[in-house]
Amino acid sequence: MSSIGKLVKQAARAQQQIAQIQAELAVRTVEGSSGGGAVKVVAKCDGSITSIKINPQAVNAADVVLLEDMVLTAVNAALEQAKQISSAEMSKATQGLNLPGMM
């Protein structure tokens, strides 16, 4: 019974850490850019986009397809960075948690 109690305590502690990390990630931001900084995207580490900035000099009616590609690249860069940070932070919460059958 002792090992079950220990496991329950570990799980509760991990759950508290995960909740705290999720709250911190919800306000932590990262930035992705493309086109030499012509397009910048800010994302939160919870996976949401907070802003997209486009340098007015980058806008030309003939270059709409290029601009769309730069925005897409910047958004994906910001989201990938946010995802990496989120994964790293979450792994800290579950580090040392020995769950039978999980490893």
The predicted structure's pLDDT at residue 47: 80
pLDDT tens digits, 31-77:
988 889 988 888 888 888 888 888 888 888 788 788 888 888 888 88
* CATH number of 2-94, picked from 1.10.3470.10, 3.90.25.10, 3.30.1310.10, 3.40.50.2000: 3.30.1310.10
Q: Which is nearest to 73 in space by CA: 19, 37, 24, 28?
A: 37
Amino acid at residue number 103: M
What is the domain partition of the chain in residue ranges? 2-94
Query: pTM of the entire structure?
Result: 0.61
Among the ranges given (14-18, 19-23, 66-70, 93-97), the one the predictor scored with the smallest mean pLDDT: 93-97
pLDDT, tens digit (0-9, with 9 covering 90-100), for 74-92 = 888 888 888 888 888 888 8
pLDDT class of 102 with cuts at 50, 70, 90: very low
DSSP assignment, residue 31? E
